[in-house]
Amino acid sequence: MDTLPPELKQRVCSYLTPRDLKSFRLTSTDYAAAASRYLLPRIFLLNHPDSFQEVRDIVNHPELSQQVTTLVIDVCRLKQCPRYDHWALVFAAPSPASTGNQGSVEARAITTGDIDARSERILRREKNLEQWKSYQIQARAQAKRSTEKLMLECIALAFQKCPKLRSLIIDFEPEIIEQWAPLAEKNRIACGLIEKRNHFYRDIFSSPATRTGFSHRLYWDYIRFDLWDILKPVHDVDRALESLAVLDSMYSSGSQGWTLPTTSIFRNLKHLRESLCSPDFLISIVACAPKLESLGVVDYQYDRFTASPLQSLLEKTSLKSLRACSLRCNSDGDAIARFVLRQSGTLQSFTLRHMGMLSPSSTMWTSFAARLKGQLPHLKRLKLINLTKPLAFDPTTGFPHPVEFLTPDDILQDHGHELQTGPMELENGLWEDYELRFFPQ
């Protein structure tokens, strides 16, 4: 190992976890140098005093600050829960008797008389009350404007101190994983942000019973940041972002009617990911990103009366450098076909997932395939989800049945391409736990 060149040592480090890297870098100064590149490329900022201090320590460190490439900002905060009984329904530890735990202290008390079961219940309630008080103290602190100011100061400090920081993830999601969510989305439960939340809120959510409540949407609120408040520190240091992901920004006060001030922070933007953003936000960013190479959009439009951010993009936008695109939406096939054809000169990878509550029309998507067939000379990777075997309703029985009418071969047929089925190569700033939401594998 000692005779390996520095490039191979760095390659070895790329396969190690952060915990393993901490031990590995203690071996020698050469290994410390090789490991530093992978030790902390991504840092997390949560609305929590310990997180503020952690970010300050990292960005002020002369070595670690040089390796940070991505900042993940979590703008979720605890909701205040003034009534204990409401809080206890989700977060309080249950009675051992109610869980069927026959080995519990209370169960032993019934048989041996060594411990008073009533006293055990009182102690448990007192512990729950202490956790509820801690929850309330933290929730009230997070609601203060001074706390929001501290978060913005940490963002500014990170961009001032970390010269390689060019990727930004703004996460508005409380990480509730619905039963109907696709497998790729459920895999996000293992993402780094969840681990950070578990770490910083461990005192409040220490009971095993709170694992359900921890990600319960009813107990998370959102800091009403204007998106420009978060982006302004990037502008102030004249940093050009290379990747930007904004998730669930419908909860941000700055996503509706959003206009982008004069800035050049998107001049080198290569990768854009957005979920539930306003049309103004999406169009403003894309218009300022001439080098955009990949685009991932999640757009839930449940009825024809709801404005669709993606629809405006599909109708108006032509991207000169787009290589990879993933759309999760229920927009009509004609609009998507027109958008894809405008990118036919560069598009190499295209993923389309139909998100409508009802099955798409077979006629619509057959026409979609016919329009694209033979028109995408550079396409190498195509994935169609919920279009290959959608549910149609049999008019005679009234029950749904699968109908197969569209496959990748319907579009790629007669092309001289080898359809790629392996995962995409992830670049700096494109982290798998977030990419799976937009580019499912």
Segment 293-313, tens digit of pLDDT = 999 988 765 445 455 657 777
For residues 290 and 357, which has the higher predicted lDDT (pLDDT)? 290
What values do phi and psi take at 339, rounded to 5? -65, -45
Residue of 250 and 315 predicted with greater confidence:
315
What's residue 2's pLDDT? Answer: 66
Q: How far is the C-alpha of 365 from the C-alpha of 408, rounded, in Å?
A: 12
The string of DSSP codes covering 344-368 is TTT--EEEEEE--SSPPPHHHHHHH
- Burial class of residue 418, CB neighbours in 10 A (0-12, 13-18, 19+): exposed
Using pLDDT thresholds of 50, 70 and 90, give the confidence band for residue 250.
low
Q: Determine the average pLDDT of the residues in 10-19.
A: 71
pLDDT of residue 107: 46
CA-based nearest residue to 237, from 259, 264, 268: 264
The CA distance from 226 to 172, in Å, is 12
Separation of alpha carbons 178 and 215, rounded Å: 11
Tell me the pLDDT of the chain averaged across its residues: 75
Task: Decide: residue 130, CB within 10 A, 0-12 exposed, 13-18 middle, 19+ buried.
Answer: exposed
In this predicted structure, the answer to whether residue 229 has a pLDDT above a threshold of 80 is yes
**What pLDDT, on the 0 to 100 scale, is given for residue 290?**
92
Q: Judge whether 368 and 344 are in contact, CB under 8 Å.
A: no
Q: What are 173's two structure tokens? A: 């999601």
What are all long-range contacts of 411-415, with beta carbons under 8 Å and residues at least 24 apart? Answer: 411/369, 411/372, 411/373, 411/376, 411/379, 411/382, 412/379, 412/382, 413/373, 414/373, 414/374, 415/374, 415/376, 415/377, 415/379
**What pLDDT sits at residue 430?**
85
What the block records as the tokens of 87 is: 């809080």
Domain ranges of the chain: 1-39, 40-78+145-438, 84-142
| pLDDT tens digits, one per residue of 268-279 | 999 999 887 777
From first CA to last CA, the distance across the chain in angstroms is: 35
Place of tokens 């169960």: 107
Helices marked H in 373-431: 408-412
Residue 346 and residue 322 in contact, taking contact as beta carbons nearer than 8 Å:
yes
Q: What is the pLDDT of residue 162?
A: 95
Q: What is the mean pLDDT of residues 30-51?
A: 82
Write down the pTM of the prediction.
0.79
What percent of the chain stands above pLDDT 70? 68
Arithmetic mean of pLDDT, 245-258: 62
Among residues 207, 161, 202, which one has the least CA distance to residue 43? Answer: 161
Percentage of the chain with pLDDT > 90?
22
Rounded CA separation 212/39 (Å): 31
CA dihedral 61, 65, 68, 71 (to 10 degrees): 70
Handedness of CA 289, 290, 296, 300 (dihedral sign): positive
The segment with the largest mean pLDDT, out of 22-31, 141-150, 152-161, 423-432, is: 152-161
Q: Which residue has the tokens 């854009």?
A: 272
What pLDDT, on the 0 to 100 scale, is given for residue 158? 97
What is the Cα–Cα distance from 314 to 395, expressed in whole angstroms? 34
**Number of alpha carbons in the 13 Å side-chain half-sphere of residue 354:** 20
Task: Tell me what pLDDT residue 188 has.
Answer: 46
Listed range (55-69, 176-190, 203-217, 400-414) with the worst mean pLDDT = 176-190
**CA-to-CA distance for 420 and 435, rounded, in angstroms?**
17
Q: What is the predicted pLDDT for the residue at 178?
A: 39
Q: Per-residue DSSP letters for 206-249?
A: -STTHHHHHT-GGGEEE----HHHHHHHHHHTT---SEEEEE-G
Say which residue, 228 or 331, is predicted with more confidence.
Answer: 228
pLDDT: which is higher, 429 or 140: 140
406 vs 168: which has the higher pLDDT: 168
What pLDDT does residue 289 have? 92
Min mean pLDDT across 122-136, 216-230, 273-287 is at: 216-230
Q: Is the pLDDT of residue 416 over 50?
A: no
**Of 68-82, 368-382, 425-439, where does mean pLDDT reach its minimum?**
425-439
Quick check: 288 and 263 in contact, CB under 8 A?
yes
Q: How confident is the model at residue 212 (pLDDT cuts 50, 70, 90)?
A: very low
pLDDT at residue 282, rounded to an integer: 81
pLDDT for 186 beyond 60:
no
Q: Which two tokens stand for residue 191?
A: 């993402």
Name the most confidently modeled range: 120-124, 160-164, 368-372, 380-384: 160-164
Q: Is the pLDDT of residue 150 over 90?
A: yes
Q: Is 92 helix (H, G, I), strand (E, B) or coil?
A: coil
The single residue listed with the structure tokens 């107990």 is 219
**Do 70 and 165 contact (CB within 8 A), yes or no?**
yes
